[in-house]
Structure 1
Amino acid sequence: MIEIREADPTSDVLRPIVEAHFAHSESAGPAESNHTMSAESLAGPGIRFCAIYDDQQALGCGALKLLPDGTAEVKSVHILAQARGRGLARVMMTHLADLARAEGVEALVLETGAEHLPEYDAARKLYEALGYSYCGPIFGYSDDPNSAFMRLALEPRS
């Protein structure tokens, strides 16, 4: 049974998933364009870190970073390689949107790899399918040719 719950990214179970995400980001583009957060940073204030489980097996993670402009940044969405192809990243992204919406966040924003970085093709396609649109640099970032910035307005659920 798939379940998502808030968790500690520094735990022995989840740290390897966060580190796998960090390693992927390090290898996918130049260091100056890598905005991936460490497990310790993801455990910090203003971050809601979630893990996705199948029964008790941790398969992935995702987080929200609350920003002072009324938005929340999606961070560290990662599904372990052996669990990919099951739609779990979509499940995590939907969960994060629902969580942010319930907290009154006006929009979700994110930074991912630009079009010339094929390692991020699947992520960009997922975000597009979920209704994210491309935008300029989000809060805390500057223009970067290696980054794509995206935004999803959150309408309250009726």
Structure 2
Amino acid sequence: MTLTLTIIEDDLTGRAVLDLLQFHLDEMHQWSPPESVHAMPAERLRQQDVTFFSAWDGERLAGCGAIKHLDDTHGELKSMRADPAYRGKGVGKAILLRLLDEARARGYTRVSLETGKPEAFHPAHGLYRANGFVECPPFGDYVADDFSICMTKAL
């Protein structure tokens, strides 16, 4: 059975979205050294340089993701997260494709992201690589360290 998702631009006020974001932040703090937690809280995701999307399976939140404006040609993926009940069901890919469509509509020529190197992040690496992302040097305010990797995709 194929999952049918509705992906919408979200104002980050709904309880389900806020709960999923808190779950995401909690996991990032569990898996990452404090200086390497780059996940944004809801207050930061509401700023004008970020556009946040939620993915819904009927009335149930399946996942979320955001794109941050870096400059006229470059966007950054943020807060990519599938609800645990929806992991491995294509939610991440659907959100990723929606964010890439948004990036193209904005005229970006590149989209980048930062993620962790440890095993907990390997499913994300696979998703990004399968969709054309390659490792790259740190961008923006990121610095090279033993924990993080940066990835980018030319559009």
- TM-score normalized by the length of structure 2: 0.94
What runs of 5+ residues in structure 1 fail to find an aligned partner?
Answer: none
Larger displacement relative to structure 2 (67-76 or 131-140): 67-76
1:138 alignment partner in structure 2: 139
CA distance in 2, matches of 1:11, 1:2: 17
1:33 alignment partner in structure 2: 36
Change (3 A) 1:145 1:69: farther
Of residues 78, 81, 89 in structure 1, which corresponds to 2:81? 78
Letter in 1 for 2:125: R
CA distance in 1, matches of 2:74, 2:138: 13
CA distance in 2, matches of 1:5, 1:87: 16
2:114 alignment partner in structure 1: 111
**Could you tell me how far 1:49 is from its partner in structure 2?**
0.1
1:98-125 deviation line (CA, Å, top 9, x unaligned): 11101101111000002xx111010011
CA distance in 1, matches of 2:13, 2:121: 25
Q: Contact (CA 8 Å) 2:72, 2:107: kept in 1 or not? A: no
Tell me the SS of whatever aligns to 2:140: coil
Of residues 12, 17, 20 in structure 1, which corresponds to 2:15? 12
1:56-102 deviation line (CA, Å, top 9, x unaligned): 21111000000036210000000010111211101100110011101
Matched-pair identity in %? 34
Letter in 1 for 2:124: A
- Report runs of 4+ in structure 1 exceeding 2 Å deviation: none
Tell me the SS of whatever aligns to 1:45: coil
Tell me the SS of whatever aligns to 2:15: coil
Equivalent residues, number: 152
Tell me the SS of whatever aligns to 1:73: strand
**Could you tell me how far 1:140 is from its partner in structure 2?**
1.8
CA distance in 1, matches of 2:150, 2:88: 24
Tell me the SS of whatever aligns to 2:64: strand
CA distance in 1, matches of 2:72, 2:116: 23
CA RMSD of aligned residues (A): 1.1
What runs of 5+ residues in structure 2 fail to find an aligned partner?
Answer: none
Q: Contact (CA 8 Å) 2:5, 2:57: kept in 1 or not? A: yes
CA distance in 1, matches of 2:71, 2:149: 21
